[in-house]
Amino acid sequence: MIRAAVRQSVVSMRLYFRNPLAMSYGYLFPTIFLAAYWGLYRFDRVPLVRHMGELLTVTVLGGACFGLPTTLVSEREKGVWRRYRLLPVPVAALVGSTVAARYLLVVTAGLLQLALAMVIGMPAPQHPFDLWLAFTVVAFAFLGCGLVIAMMADTVPAVQALGQTIFLPMLIIGGIAVPIATLPDWAQHASAFFPGRYAVEALQACVTGAGIASAPFSVSALLVVGVAGCIAGAMMFRWDEHERWAARADRGWVIVALAAWAGVGIAAEFRGAVATPRAASNAPLASPTRQTDIVIESAAGSIQTLRATNAEVAAGARPTATPNTAAPSPANANAVSTFTGTHPSSWQAVSQADIDRDLAFDRLPPDGGIITPIAAAIQQPDPGTAEFVASVAAALPAWAPGSVADPVQRARNLLYVAAVPDLLQMDIERYVPAVIYARLQEQTARSDLIKILYWIALHPFDGDDRAVDEMASLGLPPASATNLDDVRARAAVYGVKLLGRLIGRIDTDTK
């Protein structure tokens, strides 16, 4: 029996690799999605790693909701399954081996997608084993859906039609192709009823988050959808194309499969975590392409501009990092700012007048936006995120770059810890700044910290940025795939935001 099931899986996979159309569905389609995401986001420096959950979900969705039923239905149409029915083996072994083969194919497509993404610069997933587990759960959920589609459809075109009715809404309002945070409120609620949303959440938690354990609801939702789909598919199983709705109960089983989706959606609504924090805050979203000038033109006419988005910075020569930050290097001054005599020559010389003159706290990106978010006091992270944030906080005192002697470099390094999760759009991004703020205040006297944060805001490209690649002990991925200028720029913006809090220029309840 096992030998037969293994042989059938092997044959299924061989046949798949001989079918150019199936291959293009399974491998080319996910690769095109990957290329599209890469093309879309690389100019905005939003890393691919943040979208692996969506990309992998598309891969599983294509293989399981289209690939599996297409194969099953086309074989049934030809009479292959009618012939299989005469074999002295249980139906579960035959269907199980076909599904197992499909699972392996989907895994290879996912691995290909990951490998390609890493070739073009994506850092390795944070939790590879968890990612495999989550991928398996997602595949289970969608293979269950695929089985139901296979039993409902008589012909391959019918599979395509049914598949599209699930695939397209899930892509658009299900949180796969369009980020949930950017969807209107009604669509965010609708997305809770599609398993695609949970697939993205579970996978993404393993790529950039705290692992599969941080997404228990998503994993449970996928398991419920998968179990319902597999049971309904098994109960509706038919060998022959003419046996559709042979049993009156078949329609009931379709309802069972759909009820699982509805049940998961309702449970999510009751749980109250359907709308994302970003949308819940109703804060205007800062466009990542907008130049954010938080350092204003000085009265003396010198132009000091911090470019939070880096088209111009990248175009100019990035200064060589120097460990000595006591004074701005001439190269740096040429690249991003021009100093004239009215400005302090060292961080120690910074005065309140300098801050008032040079920093525009009202031009900061909103705390509830995409760039440099900071959670409001009332905002509570979900347990997985909270755990991750706590682990970063716990590891911070022992993190060497956070304890270097030079107080400016030390502050820069700590601000990078806030900037990296922001750039990687990790779930912890809005909660880490508070940890950094506390750590900065612990280490540095308030009067010095004010001066240092001002100094960093005006000299974001000074100092060393090696710490960006030394965050493994904090549980953060290496951000080398991202542009280091971006990290420095975000760190500077966070510096100003924390400075605003320190001197009471930012009302944390409204910002």
Partner 1 sequence: MRGASLEIREGEIFGLLGPNGAGKTTLLECIVGLRVPDDGEITVAGLDARRRTRDVQQRLGVMLQSTALQDKITPREALQLFATFYRSAADPDQLLERFSLTDKANAMFETLSGGQRQRLALAIAFVNRPDVLLLDEPTAGLDAQSRRELREEIARFKKDGHTVLLTTHDVDEAERLCARVAIMDGGVIIATGDPRALTADSASMQSVSLTTKPPLDAALLVDIPGTLDVTSDGNTITFRTPDPRGTLRELTTRLEQSGTELLELHVQRATLEDVFLRLTGAENDR
Residue ranges binding partner 1 (CB under 8 A): 3-4, 7-8, 11, 14-15, 18-19, 75, 78-80, 82-83, 85-89, 239
Least CB distance from residue 8 to partner 1, whole Å?
6
Least CB distance from residue 236 to partner 1, whole Å?
18
- Say which residues have a Cβ less than 8 Å from residue 166's Cβ, sequence separation at least 6: 65, 145, 149
Residue with Cβ nearer partner 1 (74 or 220): 74
Least CB distance from residue 314 to partner 1, whole Å?
50
Residue with Cβ nearer partner 1 (3 or 248): 3
Residue 91 is encoded by which pair of tokens?
A: 């139906």
Least CB distance from residue 78 to partner 1, whole Å?
4
DSSP 467: G
Residue with Cβ nearer partner 1 (4 or 256): 4
Q: Please give the C-alpha separations between residue 464 and each of 125, 335, 418, 490, in angstroms, as whole numbers.
A: 26, 16, 16, 15
What span, in angstroms and rounded, lies between the C-alpha atoms of 425 and 34? 18
What span, in angstroms and rounded, lies between the C-alpha atoms of 104 and 124? 21
Residue with Cβ nearer partner 1 (243 or 297): 243
Residue with Cβ nearer partner 1 (75 or 201): 75
Residue with Cβ nearer partner 1 (77 or 406): 77
CA angle 499, 460, 351 (to 5 degrees): 45
Least CB distance from residue 26 to partner 1, whole Å?
15
Residue 418 C-beta-side C-alpha neighbours within 13 Å: 31
Residue 89 C-beta-side C-alpha neighbours within 13 Å: 17
What span, in angstroms and rounded, lies between the C-alpha atoms of 218 and 203? 9
The per-residue DSSP string of 31-73 comes to HHHHHHHHHHHGGGT--GGGGHHHHHHHHHHIIIIIIHHHHHH
**CB neighbour burial string for 19-55, b if at least 16 within 10 angstroms, e if fewer:** eeebeebbbebbbebbeebbeeeeeebbbbbbbbbbb
Least CB distance from residue 288 to partner 1, whole Å?
47
Least CB distance from residue 212 to partner 1, whole Å?
36
Query: What SS3 class is residue 350?
Result: coil
Least CB distance from residue 96 to partner 1, whole Å?
14
Least CB distance from residue 70 to partner 1, whole Å?
13
Residue with Cβ nearer partner 1 (11 or 35): 11
| Structural contact between residues 120 and 113, judged by C-beta atoms closer than 8 angstroms | no
Residue with Cβ nearer partner 1 (180 or 236): 236
| Structural contact between residues 114 and 25, judged by C-beta atoms closer than 8 angstroms | no
Residue with Cβ nearer partner 1 (89 or 267): 89
Residue with Cβ nearer partner 1 (5 or 415): 5
3-class SS shares of the chain: helix, strand, coil, % to 5: 65, 0, 35
Residue with Cβ nearer partner 1 (4 or 327): 4
Residue with Cβ nearer partner 1 (81 or 437): 81
Least CB distance from residue 234 to partner 1, whole Å?
19
CA angle 449, 452, 455 (to 5 degrees): 150
**CB neighbour burial string for 190-206, b if at least 16 within 10 angstroms, e if fewer:** bbbbbbbbbbbbbbbbb
Q: What is the dihedral of CA 21, 25, 27, 31, to 10 degrees?
A: 120
| Structural contact between residues 55 and 45, judged by C-beta atoms closer than 8 angstroms | no
Least CB distance from residue 7 to partner 1, whole Å?
4
Least CB distance from residue 252 to partner 1, whole Å?
22
